[in-house]
Amino acid sequence: MCGIVGYIGTKQAQDVLVSGLKRLEYRGYDSAGVATLGPRGAATVLRTKGKVQELVDLVATHQKTDSVGIGHTRWATHGEPSKRNAHPHVAGSIHLVHNGIIENYQDLRITLQQHDYDFKSDTDTEVLAALIDYVSRDTSSLLEAVRSALGMVVGAYGIAVLDTKHPDEIVVARKGSPLILGVGNGEVFIASDASALLGYTKQVIYLQDGELAVCKASGVELYDMSNKILEPTVETLEMDLEAVQKKGYDHFLLKEIHEQPDTVRATLRGRIDAEAHTARLGGVNMTNDELRDVHHIMIVGCGTAYYAGVLAKYYIEQLLGDVVISVEIASELRYRSFTVPEGTLALIVSQSGETADTLACLTELKRRGVHCLGVVNAVGSSIAREVDGGVYVHVGAEVSVASTKAFTSQVVAMLLFGLTAADAKGVDPERRATLIDELDLLPGEIERVLKAHEAEVKKIAKRYAKYDNSLYVGRDTLFPVALEGSLKLKEISYVHAEGYAAGELKHGPIALIDDTFFEVFYLLDNWLYEKSQSNLIEMNARGAHAIVITDTARKVDAEVVVRVNSKLELLTPLLFNIVSQLLAYYIAIERGSDVDQPRNLAKSVTVE
């Protein structure tokens, strides 16, 4: 969940490391640090609590010409955010940065204390550094010391290791936490996220679980845990520097909300033919016969990806009729004694492709013989590499911690899979054509909503930013929109927000309505209009401060009504979600929140 960078070559390492760490700020962190080595192994370690800028200022007063080093942005797991808990951690000659969790660190700590190691932090990472240092007493090889130490640990890790006795190399290893090696001319870059490599190299090696590498200025030597030499696969990085620029927007979050017309077009490109009313995904890797044999679709995700799955479920089950659709929270599913019916296919949904719980579910489902398809954004990610097939959503870099454009395109990508399966199963072409028509219209409709309602929503946000509590309420396809809308608000504004199905109001949540709450109520002018309207009337009778987001022209009794005029019918909930994203953003701005890097959150959740 943190950020790792490393460099060995001819450049000034501090500059490269700090530049990389600034690119990784979006992942979430509470402290930062760098360690560099001079040609004779003299180490310079600089660490700060707080923003990377504080580290930048510290480096400016301790500049070195060292050309090898490692850096880190930490998101606290073991021990409070503080300078002493910040990485890199040092033990003897070993300097270490680490993403992940060492589960047996307490037992290892007790053992190492018996060998005169005095720990200065509360972290599991310092224990791992001490373990490597202890093991290195019996070998002259840093690679062997790291491999031997990792054989004693239980947990997940992505690590980069410096040793003052070996100033011409960095050893890295991965198990459950991503690492990418960038290969240049006489230099090697190390990062936990491809964005840190932008502007330096496009030639990369994705480290796989159970792999270690010795990085030298001359190149990369790749090994497995049994010391077998592996042949690195060098790939071209499909990302550019422009993707991680704000382009005139105040925040990445606002930029990414506004990018959705283009990102949805990118998700659809080459996959639908609006004139022929056909949809086809090329990466499913299943024949029509195999698709016809699918009787159960399991959608697995966490957070926003889970809510995207819940919304997609409503549409896919309408399309496929006799196919059972279940949506599972990955962190719950992985520990359940669940049954996988015959004819099950799994959609594994993750923006980063590195979500630890979702990845664990993928491993278990594959073990059970389930055909798994990925719905991911990050090319080369762990999930993208381990699934049997799938679809990239192609939304580009999503820098803001709160996901917006990925949610919309995840829903679209899953609908494309539903249409592909419907075609194979011979579902009524008219039913498919209606959805294809709406998908084709969707980017333009999102564009219209942004233009028509942003200024309006900004004014509404000023009025409701004073509230510390909120309820988001919707029925049918609007229920997952309520869940996602409330999540966005709580993530970036810290307003207590809960999402509920409208029919559940009288089963408890309606008791919350008072003057400390405002409500966001989603109202579609469809066959459930009267039932939904009744729920709104019940809320108003109890003093609700309701913001209604609706497509109806009928009279609506509420404090504020946002009327979304659209050519869509089926996919209108995705337009309502755009309004919700804007509302969350502008309320957060009014409350003075850091919308791109909200407290306590990280972009890629690579540990439990």
- Give the catalytic positions in this structure: 2, 603
Which residue do the tokens 């890797």 mark? 285
Distance, CA of 112 to CA of 131 (rounded, Å): 7
* Amino acid (1-letter code) at residue 512: L
CA 190 to chain centre: 20
Cβ atoms 197, 240 nearer than 8 A: no
3-state DSSP call for residue 125? Answer: helix
Q: What are phi and psi of 29, to 5 degrees?
A: -170, 170
3-state DSSP call for residue 329? Answer: strand
The DSSP result for 414-476, as a single string, is HHHHHHHHHHHHT--HHHHHHHHHHHHHHHHHHHHHHHHHHHHHHHHHHHHTT-SEEEEEE-T
Cβ atoms 272, 416 nearer than 8 A: yes
Q: Which residues contact 113 (CB under 8 A, 6 or more apart)?
A: 119
Distance, CA of 459 to CA of 421 (rounded, Å): 44
Distance, CA of 466 to CA of 457 (rounded, Å): 15
Cβ atoms 127, 112 nearer than 8 A: yes
